[in-house]
Structure 1
Amino acid sequence: MKKWLRVACSTALLASLMIGCTTKPAENAQPAASQQPAGETGKPASGEPMVLHWSITGEPPTMDPGIATDASSMDMINLAFEGLTIVDRQGQMINGTAESFTNSPDFTHFTFTLRKDAKWSNGDPVTAHDFEYAIKRNLDPKTASGYAYQLFYIKGGEEFFNGTGKAEDVGVKAKDDYTLDFTLRSPTPFFRELTSFTTYYPLHKKTLESNPKWASDASTIVGNGPFVIDQWEHKAKLAFSKSPTYWDQANVKLDRIEIVVIEDNNTALSMFENGDLDWGGYPSFGLSPDAIGQIKEQGKLVVADNPGTKAVIFNTQKPPFTNKKIRQAFSYSIERQQLIDNILQTGVPPAYGWVPTSMGLNPDGYFKEDIDKARQLLAEGMKELGLSEFPKVTYYYDTGETDKKIAQALQDEWKKTLGVNIEIRTAEWKVFNDDVQNGKYDFGIWLWGADFNDPINFLEMYKDKEGGNNVVRFDNKEYRDLLNKSYYETDAAKRKQLMFDAEKILMEEMPLAPLHFRGNAYVKNDKVKDFVIFPLGGSYFKYAYVEK
């Protein structure tokens, strides 16, 4: 998935700047929220409500910040909720619900001071107790938070989650209504970045305790973000309006955001071209390969350089993908550059490792295509499993023209290179995501976008077999031990080596076959201003406005 802390070469892509990857701020960049006077831009002269018309490709599974694991849910959550930190118009981190913070020199202790004017959408004050409650609730194993491991950097967090510790021993404490104190298990220089992630967001305790289904109905969602959710017609549309209680409402220009659920990307593109939608492409919807080619020829294509990796994932608990050699065979036989040139057309680099090269772990990768070796490994793997012929397997993908074409291309390639016949199937995002999370698949497509800018974010998801987001059910003690050591290693070079060694094991065992690194395509739209694409991917609407 998703988020927002990388600056160099993935600086936030602002619609008002209309630029791709850059390390240099544009000359017409808007000032940060704290610098721009309220009300100078954004309101129509007529005084009519300013409405942004948006689309998403699938039903958000939840509006619960502690439960969400997918980009669709998180984009909607970031409308209605806010963490201790947010981003400015340039995508750089600034204080959000917190007005200031301090940290110890060794990065094991952080203290945040909250704004006294921060309010929930029902008018209640947002307090440090709301953050403490949310974090401990998300760590409670009964909550089943897929991202609970993002909270393990807090001392006692992992122990509470695993049942070997107590909630009162978790190192997050509300010292008073407006002072939130964190004690970490080891030095964590990037901890402030983590506080902008949804699992760290506050929750309104009374709302949760009064209604277990609070996060699935617009009328019962109490948030603290720049917008409030007014309408949620499941599988059809959502609507948000400017929050009257938000602490920084003067810098929120939009009166309303109306969002329709459109599974077919070509339909969404047609609506954009007809003026029924105000945005074309990522992060609203995906552009089909045919559309990308046409838009590229017109010179209107922009590609957001958000660190992430798309891969074929294997269910390592289901034969024949229990066998490492068979997984390797499928991976080594993929012609990645052909997929990029003929289908994606966005110029993204092929992936020969799981961690994005921008994070500097191993830019050279760990393997290369080798069809002869792939055929040999397939034969050896089938012999080890006692198979005389390859069994029936089904490749699973989310709806979308690009993933459909990739599935068809891989189906043809594996038939040609390995001589195996596979079936392919698809499902809407919510069904697909639920099936993959619950192990109801053989193998298929998966995309992971950075949550924070550190290799551990891509590696720790596979540390524990039953851990959150370990959709391949990878289980390797040596890998786990290396990552556990990295948490406590204070020497940067030694820490990097530990993570390098871990990724090397991952790419040797091949529970997933990286295809390409992420590049998110969209169309320039001059009338939408100050919409921020988070540097790590995802939507941020707080500053956006629409020029008529």
Structure 2
Amino acid sequence: MNNNYESHAISRRSFLKASGVVGAAGILAACGGNSGSSSTAASSGATSAPNTTGATPLKEFISWESTNRELESWNMLYSQMASDMNVTTNLWEGLLSFDCYGKAVPSVAKEWSHNEDSSVWTFNLRDDVDWVDVNGEVKAHLTSKDFLVGLEWVLNAAKNQANNTSMPNETLTGAADYYQKTSDMGDAAADLTYQDMLDAGVGVEAPDDYTLVFTCKDPCPYFDTVAAYTSFYPASEDLINELGVEGFRACDYTNMWYNGPYVVEEFISQNTKSYIPNPNYYAADEVSRFDRFTVTMISDGTVTFQLYQNRELDEMDVGESTLTTIQADPNSEYNAQLCEKRPKKFSYQMHFNYQKNNEDGTPDDNWNKAIANTAFRQCFYKGLDLTNYYARTNKINPLKCENDYYTMPGVCYNTQGQEYTTLVAKEMGFDGEAYDGKTMIRLRSNNGDIADLKKQAMDELSAIGVTFPVHAAYHIIAGSTTALDTATVLKQCFTDSFGDDFIVLDIKTYVSSITQEVRNPQLQSFVINGWGADYGDPVNFVGQEILHDDNAYYSWYYSNIAKVVEAGPADWQKDLVACYEEFTDLVNTAKAIVDDTDARYAAFAKAEASMLNSVLACPCNFDVSWTLTHANEYSKINAMYGPCNYKAVNWETSEEAYTTEQYEEFAAAFDAATKA
């Protein structure tokens, strides 16, 4: 069996190389994840779901990713993109990891604890972790010093260029001051070392080679969820010295050092990447790994089903057209193999661009004036029916994809056990008996309200020179039939909801990088983007949208509202800026509450409700798809925060495809275990 399987796997790899297959289009997703309770913790390595089927497991596995999500950085400390971290999580380990239930478990830290008020956290490290090169050869031994080096890198503006600074700046004593010091120093800060950080009073120390102690500015009961994020990952001073600051920042798989479960065997951009086991991985005897894990890039989702049928993929998401094909054929073996996945940890929103440019670089005043108008934005949230758009992801249960809040459900709970977004619902007035059994699409507004809002927006905007219909530029990757079909459905949703006299969606394309070709030149009207929490507190979501904060990711890089304020708003932007200022004040008020979790979450709910009422960004969807698969989804890491969910360890797999019935059993067992 093994020999036959090995030859089968080799032929699959050969096909992938020869065909030059390059991956199915999907929606963007930004950063890592969050949820949080603190606990004194842990004993052994990450746990996996038991093998419940007695199936023959796969020794090699071929997964997929879409070409518009090819990684752009191999540096775990530098990147803030999930598309990067989904790769590097297999190569680079931090203090903590997670199990299939989303609970924090040991990684490089074997145990951790905190003092009575959760302001001081101690992590005890393993003493058997090594850095290796791409060939798996040991280069250095990892100690607590490497975490000091990594944190100094993150906090040094000359080295990490402000990326991933918000988590330590928000939580650790002295971190924000040290970051500001390095920012003020300019290029000279590149010469600073971890000792300079310690001398500056940043709240971290290493009493010995295998102990780390963090001191927080305030009580922080969710700090273990913060420490699990990439801001606190280790780095080798020897490697940084070898590559230089710019070289380390731009490191790739050939010259980086690894301490994770895999090393990269091969990488062909926009085609494939394959990982093989790190021969010196510290947890080699504690976790299960594949002999080879391959990620195939898919440029057009229409080929995915064929690849799966040919066993060139071991899992695939089943889009609307493939689902229709399978359901239309009563003799299809795949009818009984359709499995509904768990929601991914990302909350997707429409992120408006308040400083849009035309193709020639001039301001698109017609769009910019329109989107600055509150009534115009409210039409998106209250009137846009996206049911058919959801069906592109989940044709069978489309409304499972409906998203009506900004923060992802499940990120955190108050001391009464209330999930945070239920508090937002209460602030929005969406929690009464009148709404029972109704979808949010129906309850947010009725047709009369939308007609009135549309008229109000058109009247107010016509008075300042806006012409209708307003054209909204929406960009997709070129050459993808799937992306084009999905965008066409979205365009029709605008027509069906508003008519063509109000907003018209213009579908535009980019070649390879939406960041370089669209977002940086500010050509988009809006982007549908997903955010997964980095740690267990609501500020990680709403804090990305505020003003007067260099770390507010969406304000600077998507909505460009921070640039509007920096340049000085026009008269027609002042109401928009006032909405942002009110929201920002509410967020900062909530952030200041550090000794009462319930009061903190209630204050954040008020802030999020302010954002939603003003529709500064518009909630869009969750990713709840159907799959054909040889992997048990419920055995994979399932954290609401952190970068670890794509780590290919402890997966239960089967040579035979899983069935609908088996997945229903997995779901029931998982729900029972999480409620126990």
- The verdict on a shared fold, with TM-score over 0.5 as the criterion, is yes
TM class by smaller structure: 0.7 to 0.9
- The CA distance in 1 between the partners of 2:307 and 2:131, in whole Å, is 35
Does 2:341 match 1:303?
yes
Whichever residue aligns with residue 559 of structure 2, its letter is V
Give how far 1:543 is off: 1.9
Does 2:375 match 1:325?
yes
Does 2:313 match 1:313?
no
Does 2:600 match 1:495?
yes
- The CA distance in 2 between the partners of 1:178 and 1:249, in whole Å, is 20
Does 2:476 match 1:441?
no
Partner of 1:340: 390
- The CA distance in 2 between the partners of 1:344 and 1:35, in whole Å, is 30
Match of 1:151 among 168, 192, 201: 168
Match of 2:405 among 353, 359, 377: 353
Partner of 1:542: 649
Partner of 2:216: 184
252-261 vs 363-372, which deviates more?
A: 363-372
Distance 1:44 1:389, change over 3 A: closer
Give how far 1:77 is off: 0.8
Q: Choose between structure 1 and 2: higher helix proportion.
A: 2
Distance 1:129 1:309, change over 3 A: same
Partner of 2:203: 171
473-482 vs 443-452, which deviates more?
A: 473-482
Does 2:535 match 1:452?
yes
Give how far 1:248 is off: 0.4
- For residues 359-378 of structure 1, the aligned pairs below 5 Å read 359-360=420-421, 361-363=423-425, 366=428, 368-369=444-445, 370-378=449-457
Residues 336-369 of structure 1: per-residue CA shift (max 9 Å, x gap): 3454357643441533321234433323574824
> Are the equivalent residues in 1 in contact too, given 2:36–2:537 (CA < 8 A)?
no
Partner of 1:136: 152
> Are the equivalent residues in 1 in contact too, given 2:206–2:212 (CA < 8 A)?
yes
Does 2:112 match 1:88?
no
- The CA distance in 2 between the partners of 1:169 and 1:295, in whole Å, is 62
Distance 1:160 1:290, change over 3 A: farther
Give how far 1:296 is off: 7.4
> Are the equivalent residues in 2 in contact too, given 1:221–1:229 (CA < 8 A)?
no
Residues 285-333 of structure 1: per-residue CA shift (max 9 Å, x gap): xx42223455678251222133432222111223132333332233333
- The CA distance in 1 between the partners of 2:232 and 2:259, in whole Å, is 13
Whichever residue aligns with residue 113 of structure 2, its letter is T
> Are the equivalent residues in 2 in contact too, given 1:120–1:223 (CA < 8 A)?
yes
> Are the equivalent residues in 2 in contact too, given 1:397–1:403 (CA < 8 A)?
no
Distance 1:182 1:544, change over 3 A: same
> Are the equivalent residues in 1 in contact too, given 2:75–2:252 (CA < 8 A)?
no
- For residues 188-207 of structure 1, the aligned pairs below 5 Å read 188-207=220-239
What's the secondary structure of 1:180's corresponding residue?
strand
Whichever residue aligns with residue 385 of structure 2, its letter is E
How many residues are treated as equivalent by the alignment? 514
- The CA distance in 1 between the partners of 2:488 and 2:323, in whole Å, is 14
- For residues 96-111 of structure 1, the aligned pairs below 5 Å read 96-111=107-122
- The CA distance in 2 between the partners of 1:441 and 1:394, in whole Å, is 5
Partner of 1:423: 506
Distance 1:35 1:275, change over 3 A: closer
Match of 1:270 among 288, 306, 326: 306
Distance 1:385 1:128, change over 3 A: farther
360-369 vs 311-320, which deviates more?
A: 360-369
Residues 375-415 of structure 1: per-residue CA shift (max 9 Å, x gap): 13421441463324455441234565474245333443466
Distance 1:538 1:248, change over 3 A: closer
Whichever residue aligns with residue 255 of structure 1, its letter is D
After TM superposition, what 4+ stretches of structure 1 lie above 6 angstroms from structure 2?
A: 41-45
- The CA distance in 2 between the partners of 1:486 and 1:516, in whole Å, is 26
- The CA distance in 1 between the partners of 2:111 and 2:632, in whole Å, is 34
Match of 1:480 among 571, 576, 584: 584
Residues 111-131 of structure 1: per-residue CA shift (max 9 Å, x gap): 111110011124211121211
> Are the equivalent residues in 1 in contact too, given 2:253–2:264 (CA < 8 A)?
yes
- The CA distance in 2 between the partners of 1:296 and 1:197, in whole Å, is 42
What's the secondary structure of 1:507's corresponding residue?
helix
TM-score in terms of structure 1 length? 0.83
What's the secondary structure of 2:90's corresponding residue?
helix
Residues 71-103 of structure 1: per-residue CA shift (max 9 Å, x gap): 221111110011111123544321110011121
TM-score in terms of structure 2 length? 0.68
Partner of 1:25: none
- The CA distance in 2 between the partners of 1:203 and 1:174, in whole Å, is 15
- For residues 24-35 of structure 1, the aligned pairs below 5 Å read 33=45
Whichever residue aligns with residue 94 of structure 1, its letter is V
Distance 1:141 1:33, change over 3 A: closer
Partner of 1:386: 465
Match of 1:55 among 64, 73, 79: 64
- The CA distance in 2 between the partners of 1:533 and 1:296, in whole Å, is 29
What's the secondary structure of 1:105's corresponding residue?
coil
What's the secondary structure of 1:538's corresponding residue?
helix
Whichever residue aligns with residue 229 of structure 2, its letter is F
> Are the equivalent residues in 1 in contact too, given 2:45–2:106 (CA < 8 A)?
no
Whichever residue aligns with residue 541 of structure 1, its letter is A
Residues 144-195 of structure 1: per-residue CA shift (max 9 Å, x gap): 2443212222222333334489843322223332111111122221111122
- The CA distance in 1 between the partners of 2:33 and 2:326, in whole Å, is 27
Whichever residue aligns with residue 278 of structure 1, its letter is D
424-433 vs 300-309, which deviates more?
A: 424-433
Whichever residue aligns with residue 98 of structure 1, its letter is A
Partner of 2:187: none
What's the secondary structure of 1:80's corresponding residue?
coil
What's the secondary structure of 2:93's corresponding residue?
coil
What's the secondary structure of 1:498's corresponding residue?
helix
Partner of 1:19: none
Distance 1:161 1:7, change over 3 A: closer
- The CA distance in 1 between the partners of 2:44 and 2:460, in whole Å, is 57
Distance 1:7 1:276, change over 3 A: farther
- The CA distance in 2 between the partners of 1:497 and 1:528, in whole Å, is 34
Distance 1:313 1:526, change over 3 A: closer
- The CA distance in 2 between the partners of 1:302 and 1:44, in whole Å, is 22
Distance 1:407 1:427, change over 3 A: farther
Whichever residue aligns with residue 477 of structure 1, its letter is E
> Are the equivalent residues in 2 in contact too, given 1:479–1:505 (CA < 8 A)?
yes
What's the secondary structure of 1:169's corresponding residue?
coil
> Are the equivalent residues in 2 in contact too, given 1:326–1:378 (CA < 8 A)?
yes
> Are the equivalent residues in 2 in contact too, given 1:483–1:502 (CA < 8 A)?
yes
What's the secondary structure of 2:583's corresponding residue?
helix
> Are the equivalent residues in 1 in contact too, given 2:393–2:625 (CA < 8 A)?
no
339-348 vs 204-213, which deviates more?
A: 339-348
What's the secondary structure of 2:349's corresponding residue?
strand
Give how far 1:264 is off: 1.8
Whichever residue aligns with residue 375 of structure 2, its letter is K
Give how far 1:44 is off: 8.8
Residues 196-249 of structure 1: per-residue CA shift (max 9 Å, x gap): 222321122332343334555321121211111232222222121111121101
What's the secondary structure of 2:611's corresponding residue?
helix
Give how far 1:373 is off: 3.2
State the identity as a percent.
18
Q: Which runs of 5+ in 2 are unaligned?
A: 1-29, 38-42, 185-195, 329-334, 357-367, 411-419, 429-442, 563-579, 656-676
Partner of 1:523: 628
